[in-house]
Amino acid sequence: MRMWRWIGGQIKADPNNDAIGLKSEWLDEHDPNRPLRHSCYFCDYGQKHSHGYTKCFACPAKGGHMWCEEGNWNWKSDPLAFLAKLEPLFKTYKAQKRVAKGKKKSCQRKQ
């Protein structure tokens, strides 16, 4: 999310910025030694967890019924709409993570 929030800020500051170049710039600065599939954390995760299916099968964003190249929020042509679509998915993910962490602590206390 940090990368996409940064990209969104760069595009708001200058609408002529292009998401492809900004992704490369962010990754070069923040994660230069990590080879990512399609320069995307989602694609990289999806590829590692797809069990032979297409990388999109296990994409974390797909859980929110989202496809990154969908016309309404295509990451390349409308990165701000893409970011807007990611934000609620990220909130849901964080909430689920907190609940899971709370359950784990609860189980540890019972022991």
**Per-residue pLDDT at 37:** 67
Residue 7 domain boundaries: 2-110
Place of tokens 């910025």: 17
Of residues 13, 14, 43, 46, the one with CA closest to residue 27: 43
- Cβ distance 55 to 47 under 8 Å? yes
**For residue 79, which of 69, 88, 89 has the smallest C-alpha distance?**
69
Amino acid at 64: G
Question: Which of residues 56 and 78 earns the better pLDDT score?
Answer: 78
Q: Are 19 and 11 in contact (CB under 8 A)?
A: yes
Q: Render pLDDT for 28-76 as a digit per residue (tens, 0 to 9).
A: 999 888 877 677 888 888 888 888 777 777 777 766 566 777 777 788 8
Domains in the chain: how many in total?
1
Higher-pLDDT residue of 67 and 111 is 67
Q: Determine if the pTM surpasses 0.85.
A: no
